[in-house]
Amino acid sequence: MIGVWILIGIVALIVGGILAWNLWDEDVGLILMGFGGMFLFIFCITFPICRAEERSKIIEYNATKTSIEAARSNGESIENYAMQQKIIDINNWLATAQYWNGKADMFYPDEIEALVPLK
């Protein structure tokens, strides 16, 4: 799906360039080039930001999982509200990330599919 949007941006740049340089319709060509260039620029900015955010969430998931396992192995009660809320937040993020990994795979690292909900 994301590849289609990148392709649309590239096609808009190419068609706009052809229209602007051949002077068939300079205004429409410049508008198309502006649209395509802006679209590709925004994609190039958001792509690494989204991947970095998801990688940090994976690290948070692993840290939370380690904390839960350590608390349970020490016999500590994990039934307090703060820990339950943290588990709920992590599982909500995981469900959302796994859904969007199927829709916009380029923005989400593949390690997300290997994660399982915390219990």
Render pLDDT for 57-101 as a digit per residue (tens, 0 to 9). Answer: 888 888 888 877 777 777 766 567 677 788 888 888 888 888 887
Give residue 77's domain range: 2-114
Asked if the structure places residue 6 within a domain, the reply is yes
Asked if the structure places residue 109 within a domain, the reply is yes
pLDDT of residue 79: 63
Token pair, residue 24, equals: 């068939």
Asked if the structure places residue 119 within a domain, the reply is no
pLDDT of residue 65: 82
Asked if the structure places residue 104 within a domain, the reply is yes
- Which residues have C-beta within 8 Å of that of residue 110, sequence separation ≥ 6? 101
pLDDT of residue 2: 64
Q: Both ends of the chain: CA-CA distance in Å? A: 33
Tally of structural domains, the chain: 1
pLDDT of residue 1: 56
Render pLDDT for 25-43 as a digit per residue (tens, 0 to 9). Answer: 667 778 888 888 888 888 8
